[in-house]
Amino acid sequence: MSTRLVVVRHGETEWNVASRIQGHADSPLTPAGLAQAQAIAARLSGERFDRLLSSDLGRAWRTAQAIAARTGHAIQPEPRLRERNYGLAEGLTYGEIGVHYPEIFSRVRDTDPDYVVPGGESRRQMYERVSGAFESLARAHDGERLAVVCHGGVLAMLYRHVQGIPVGAAQPIPIPNASYNALVFDGGQWSVEAWADTAHLEATEPFVEP
């Protein structure tokens, strides 16, 4: 038996547009983000899946609500799939973070995976939380098909886990808002069926993990 997961990033938010770090904080979906949520909902309405799970942060939950409205599933909250806790850096722009907290991440060099954002968590702590969550969900729902709504950083950690990419290595990973990402766990190994698929969207601005 195997478990199939379709993992979706939330729709575009106001802070996505402003290039502000959200973390455990939140901002509303933009009109484009709401349209993206409806588009991924329409796509998933044509597929069979057994459960709909979502991060309990508002932007993911709002996207999951659009899916639930089309498919009739109850949404199961999954706090382990929250975005990374960026602590005091939440609400800052990428430029401001580069000045105040340059060790959070880097686009040009390896990042210290054990650097803890003041008031937040390290990249390694997030990686262990996210990879552990997906492993346990896949094993607990053997033979089922799951739809999961979460965040760009969560998808990046899942991709690293599946592909064996070191947690601190600089590695651009495309993760568009409301993208369709399908993975299968066969009980011992993960495989990727689809990644960053936006066929259901007319246009989107991809998130790329720093």
Give me the residue label for tokens 């999954």. 78
Give me the residue label for tokens 């799951």. 146
Q: Provide the CA 131 distance to its chain's centre, in angstroms.
A: 12
In degrees and rounded to multiples of 5, residue 177 shows phi and psi of -60, 140
Q: Is 36 helix (H, G, I), strand (E, B) or coil?
A: helix
Which class for 206: exposed (0-12), middle (13-18), buried (19 or more C-beta within 10 A)? middle
Amino acid letter at 47?
E
Residue closest to 153 by CA, chosen among 19, 21, 3: 21
Extract the tokens encoding 88.
Answer: 């005091």
User: pTM for the whole thing?
Assistant: 0.93
Tell me the catalytic residues.
10, 83
Q: Is 159 helix (H, G, I), strand (E, B) or coil?
A: helix
Q: Domain ranges in the chain? A: 3-200
3-200: which CATH topology? Answer: Rossmann fold (3.40.50)
- pLDDT tens, N- to C-terminus, the chain (210 residues): 899 999 999 999 999 999 999 999 999 999 999 999 999 999 999 999 999 999 999 999 999 999 999 999 999 999 999 999 999 999 999 889 888 888 887 655 678 899 998 999 999 999 999 999 999 999 999 999 999 999 999 999 999 999 999 999 888 899 999 999 999 999 989 999 999 999 999 755 554 555
